[in-house]
Amino acid sequence: MNPLLAAHDLRRRYGNRDVVDIAHLFVMPGEVLAVLGPNGAGKSTLFRLLLLLERADAGRVLLDGRDATPGDAGARRRMAGVFQRPYLFDGTVSDNVAYGLRARGADAKDCALRTREALAWLGIEHLARARVRTLSGGEAQRVALARALVLEPDVLLLDEPTASLDIAARRRFREDLSRLVRRHAKSVLLITHDPADAFTLADRIAVMEGGRIVQTGTPDDLLLSPATPFVAAFTGAELLLDGEVVAVEEGLLVARLHSGALVHAALREGEASPVGERVHVAYRPEDVTLSTSAESGTTSAINHYDVVVDSIVPDGALVRVRLSGEAQLNALVTRRSASALSLEAGTRVVAHLKATALRAYSAEPR
C-alpha cells in the first residue's frame, strides 16, 4: 500500500534560515499522523506546504503517488484543512459548511442534506441559522471542522486545532476529533504543539525540531525509546543530573551522578556508551515510585535513592512531588498514595526507578 500523502526533500527557506527541511514524511491511507513540535519548529509552514497553499523552495509533495503543487485544482479538491483560527466568512453556519459542496457542484438538495448531517456530527445543528460572528471560539472551530469533514476528503490537515480553545472546550473538541476524523477522512495529518493531542489521536507521531523531523514512531516508541533528549523532554520526560558512565554490563549502562549515587539505565539496541563518557539520564515522573524505607525491599526496581520531599504541588488528578537527596527527582503520584505515605515537606522516603524506564544520552559535544 502506497502513502496517500508524502513529502520528499521538502525545503522552505525564509531569508537565510531553513524553516522546513524534511527528507521524508508520509501518511498512509486510514492513518492519523501527528507532527508534534514546539512553537517556531516550522510546523505551520509545513502545514501550508502540504495543503498546497505555499510553494516549496525545493522538494516534492505527492498525493497518491503523483506530484501535487500549488494551483493544482484536482489535488486541492481531494484535501481539506482546518486552521488554528477558523477562517469563516460572514453569513450563517449552514452557509459556511455548505460552501465547499457548492463549489464542487453539489445540487441544492444533496448539499442541504449533507450540511445537516455534518452539523449533527459536531452537535451544532441548533446553530444552523446562527451568524458566525455570534459564535464562541469552540463553536467556530466546530463549524470549520464540519466544513472540512462534509467534503469527506482524502487528506484532512489540521493546524493546531485545539490551541485557541479553553481547557473544557479543548477536551470536548479533542473527543469529537477522535470520534469523527477516521470516519469521514481517508487520512489525517495533525499539526500540534500539544503532546496530549498527538498521543490521544495519532497512530504515529513525527517530532519536529528546528524545521527537521528528529524521530517518527508510534506513541509507545516515543514514550519508551525517545531518540534524543529533546524528544524525551518534549514528550514528558525529565532529566536527572548529568552523570558519567562507569560500566556497561548485561544491556545496562551504569552512570555515577554528581551526588555519588549510581543509576542503571537500559541501553537502546545498537547503542554504545564508553566508560568515562558524560551522559544525561531521562526518566518520566510517573515511573518514579515512592515507599518508606521499611517497604523498599518489595519492589523489583534496581535504582533506589534516599530522598527528602521538598514540595508537593497539585497536578490535575495527581500530585507532583519534588525530591532531593541522592538524586534530584520529580514524582507523579495519586493523592491516595501521597496520603498513605504521609507525604509533606521534609518527609524522608525512598524513590525507586526501573532501569527499563530510563534512557541515557551522550552529553559530549558532537
pLDDT value, residue 56: 95
Three-state DSSP class for 75?
Answer: helix
Q: Identify the residue with better confidence: 293 or 115.
A: 115
> pLDDT tens digits, residue range 1-38?
789 999 999 999 998 899 999 999 999 999 999 999 99
CATH 3.40.50.300 domain residues, the chain: 5-233
Question: What's the topology of domain 5-233?
Answer: Rossmann fold (3.40.50)
Beta bridge partners of 141: none
CATH 2.40.50.100 domain residues, the chain: 238-362
Cα 118 from Cα 146, distance rounded (Å): 5
Average pLDDT, stretch 247-275?
84
> pLDDT tens digits, residue range 90-130?
899 999 999 988 888 888 889 999 999 999 998 999 999 99
C-alpha cell at 351: 524513590
CATH architecture of the domain with residue range 238-362: Beta Barrel (2.40)
24: Cβ contacts below 8 Å, ≥ 6 apart: 6, 7, 8, 9, 213
Give, in order, the Cα–Cα distances in Å from 32 to each of 157, 216, 220, 318, 344.
Answer: 10, 13, 15, 29, 43
Stated pTM of the model: 0.84
pLDDT value, residue 365: 64
Cα 188 from Cα 172, distance rounded (Å): 19
pLDDT value, residue 235: 86
Average pLDDT, stretch 66-74?
92
User: With contact defined as beta carbons under 8 Å apart, do 23 and 82 qualify?
Assistant: no
